Structure 1
Amino acid sequence: MRPPHAVVIGAGIGGLTAGAALHHRGWRVTVLERSAAPGRTGAGIALAPNAQRALDTFGAGDAVRALAGWQSDGGLRLPGGRWVSRTSSEAAARRFGGPVVVAHRGDVTALLTARLPDGALRTGVRAELADEGGPERPALVRTPDGAFEADLVVAADGIRSATRAALFPGHPEPAYFGCTTWRLVVPRPDRPFPAHETWGRGRLWGTVPLHDGRVYAYAQANAPADGRSEDGELAELRRLFGTWHHPVPAILAAADPTAILRTDLRTTTVPLPTFHRGRVALLGDAAHAMTPHLGQGGCQAVEDAVVLAGLLAEAGGDPAAALPAYTRARLPRTMDVVRRAARIGRLTTVSSPLACAVRTAALVAADKLGPRVALRSLDGVADWRPAAVG
């Protein structure tokens, strides 16, 4: 018999994981990506132990672990350099079964793409859902070059998902969180530094070494939505962060102004009623956009994909049985992570001097109790394990 066919819309981390996981389970997969060169752009991505264990289900976990660059302690600082909280990578590994891997998004994209069958990924293709399908008819995905019939459509088309809008017209889109972010990758400065995240008044900076000698840096600042700097984003970063502690000035000095990514933060405030309709499953940002403050956006997309593939295997490939179970498994968990990330995110947007002083005092007090206190925000998240499916 011909294997069932899945069409994945979007070749981000979640879409590629879905394609690879379904291929591993015996599905014929087609992954459609509107970008002509996916993976060429982007910066860093954090993959916590929960995502690594999900990737283990089709043999990609160890390849991700090999991308780990940060293997030392780090923590939380103030703009002048004072440490207010320390985090031990060993404590994180003991608590959650492994360290958080921070890697370049392009490296992760490449290793997932390598786990797709030849010809499965089609780039430079705009795809739209034409028919969600039903018990007696396949779903239909239309492209400029023709249409694809599918036993299953996986919508991994991002925070502004056109598929979500087609399935749930009128449902509120993810809301602006009140701040914007910048991401960049530069060569590692000569002067060493520990990994860190630094909180200022309505501003945040983070720096993490990558495995290949480069550094991933990210920044956040309270700002109106859809803003852009008239003299360029590098100039804006220098105004906001140029006087902060090492290595921030060195990273800004090494930055390529054309390679800085600026993105407004948005988060789901009104959950979808379901993550599926007909033969279509939504995953990742298309289903549950979240702020990056737990480092779980990509991780939850990976979980979605692996859980979906596992449930389809349990159901003998029948979407009618598997997709309701997918919603039951994923909607409560992912919305809990959305809310947890937003709670931490609101702390980072504090801007009044008094509120920042209170925040610092609380962080210092928590630090006296050891790294385990700082890690509690990931309890029940980073320790997740996929169900065993035969």
Structure 2
Amino acid sequence: MKVAVVGAGIGGLCVAVGLQRNGADVTVFERSDRVRAGGSGLSIFGNGLRALESLGLREQFEAITSPEAATYRSGQRRPDGRWLATIPPDAVSDLRIVHRTDLHHMLLAQLQPGTLRCSMEVIGAHSDGIVRIRHTPGSASEQDFDLVVAADGLHSGFRARWGRDPGVRYAGYSAWRGITSTPVDLQGEAGETWGEQMRFGVAPLADGRVYWFGVATMPRRRPLSAPYEYAELNRMFGTWHSPIPELIRTTEPEAVSFLPIDELAGDLPSYRHGRCVLLGDAAHAMTPNLGQGGGQAMEDAATLAALLSPIAAGVNPDERTIDSILNSYDKARRPRTQALARRSRRLGTLAHVRGRSRTAVRDLLLQTTPPSALRSQLKRTQDWHPPEVAAVPRRMSSPSGRCEPALLHRHKSRLGG
């Protein structure tokens, strides 16, 4: 079957690899002239690992990450360093932290040559699978596909054109993100530090460098100059416990990104429209408080690839079969992702309570929450397994084709099937 994937983000690349390995003829359209992965880190928990395993990507993913993060003491601390709550280690035993650029390199390396088409924007799509593509200003064409997967992110054009878009809303807080330029010894401690309407998170990467983020309640604004953002970081977090000041100091100002935190303003009634289906942030953009944004995109990709596996290698698949599969995808993914989005929103509200008295009550709540309750919550979040469908042979894929005119430089890697 012919599949168009719109967007070369994590979800789009994952579903492209999964469908391609099951025999589908996949084209990935990326409107930018190159794939831009961003310079921050990403937390992938056990559910994300199982999704990657279902897609045939777990071995490659584990090669660029380390299980060491799962051994660190983690939870919530106060700005003075005192622990408020500690996460039971067995609840995050599969946790991996990955550099987004490394993850994109790995995914791109699994695509067959010519799969990825950069500088090609999908400007329209019919429910019957016909897409309109802009190649250059003033030049456009139409192509016919059996399935269109819209993985075009938070501001999805597909979702907007369906007429049921709830829109995007600002969560009330913004985040700075960075990765240290050199390794930093965390002394076996990571997790988050919660102040009054401010947070700082720390996670070790496989090479010893540290991914970190600072979050603060503020009116929505656009990113400003690197020196200004760097000064704001130091003003807000420079006196917090070690190693937070050191992490900021060992990160180049130009490598710090600032981003307002947005989410979907409401739940979608469906993730599909005819032969078009939404995936990842296009379907369920959520706040990052649970660390599940990337993992849920991977779950989407693994679910869709598994459900389509019996027909992926076929030509002119039956429309009723596709319709049934997309209904199954929607039924499987919508309740879980929308429930997690609500939980993530509530956690952000708790973390950013206003006022000293409310902050003190929040801290007391964290201190008195039993470890068993934390374990149960985390286990429930990660309790996901790919759908069981008829097994089909997986094809070994070749390294991906280059974008025209540019593509991320790729690491040489041994491919797995």
Task: Provide structure 1 residue ranges, at least 5 long, that are not aligned to the other structure.
Answer: 94-98
In 1, the alpha carbon distance for the partners of 2:382 and 2:74 equals 18
For 2:116, the equivalent position in structure 1 comes to: 121
Amino acid at match of 1:37: R
Matched, 1:205 2:200: yes
The partner residue of 2:177 within 183, 186, 191 is 183
The partner residue of 1:309 within 281, 285, 305 is 305
The partner residue of 1:343 within 341, 346, 367 is 346
Stretches (4+) displaced over 6 A: none
Cα deviation, residue 353, structure 1: 0.2
In 2, the alpha carbon distance for the partners of 1:39 and 1:210 equals 20
- Name the SS for the 2:184 alignment partner: coil
Cα deviation, residue 76, structure 1: 1.2
1:223-372 superposed matches below 5 A: 223-229=218-224, 232-314=228-310, 318-366=321-369, 369-370=370-371, 372=372
Structure 1 pair 29/315, CA: closer, same or farther in 2 (3 Å)? closer
Amino acid at match of 2:4: V
For 1:143, the equivalent position in structure 2 comes to: 134
In 2, the alpha carbon distance for the partners of 1:76 and 1:357 equals 14
Structure 1 range deviating more: 20-29 or 227-236: 227-236
For 1:172, the equivalent position in structure 2 comes to: 166
Contact conserved, 1:234 with 1:255, CA < 8 A, in 2?
no
- Name the SS for the 2:380 alignment partner: coil
Scaled by the length of structure 1, the TM-score of the pair is: 0.91
Structure 1 pair 285/191, CA: closer, same or farther in 2 (3 Å)? closer
- How high is the sequence identity, in percent, across the aligned residues? 37
For 1:96, the equivalent position in structure 2 comes to: none
For 2:20, the equivalent position in structure 1 comes to: 23
In 1, the alpha carbon distance for the partners of 2:354 and 2:374 equals 22
Structure 1 pair 202/111, CA: closer, same or farther in 2 (3 Å)? same
Cα deviation, residue 25, structure 1: 1.5
Contact conserved, 1:33 with 1:123, CA < 8 A, in 2?
yes
- Name the SS for the 1:102 alignment partner: strand
Contact conserved, 1:9 with 1:153, CA < 8 A, in 2?
yes
Contact conserved, 1:193 with 1:246, CA < 8 A, in 2?
no
For 1:216, the equivalent position in structure 2 comes to: 211
The number of aligned residues is 374
In 2, the alpha carbon distance for the partners of 1:295 and 1:328 equals 23
The superposition leaves residues 50-93 of structure 1 with CA deviations (integer Å, 9 ceiling, x where unpaired) of 11111111321132234124132222111111111112433433
Which fold has the larger relative contact order, with Cα–Cα distance below 8 Å and residues 6 or more apart in sequence?
Answer: 2
In 2, the alpha carbon distance for the partners of 1:377 and 1:254 equals 34
Cα deviation, residue 332, structure 1: 1.0
Contact conserved, 1:180 with 1:223, CA < 8 A, in 2?
yes
Contact conserved, 2:130 with 2:142, CA < 8 A, in 1?
no
Q: Pairwise CA RMSD of aligned residues?
A: 1.9
Task: Provide structure 2 residue ranges, at least 5 long, that are not aligned to the other structure.
Answer: 391-417
- Name the SS for the 2:104 alignment partner: helix
Cα deviation, residue 229, structure 1: 4.4
Structure 1 range deviating more: 377-386 or 112-121: 377-386
1:101-112 superposed matches below 5 A: 101-112=96-107
Cα deviation, residue 8, structure 1: 0.7
Contact conserved, 1:72 with 1:88, CA < 8 A, in 2?
no
The superposition leaves residues 277-333 of structure 1 with CA deviations (integer Å, 9 ceiling, x where unpaired) of 121110111011101111111111111111112222356754222112211111111
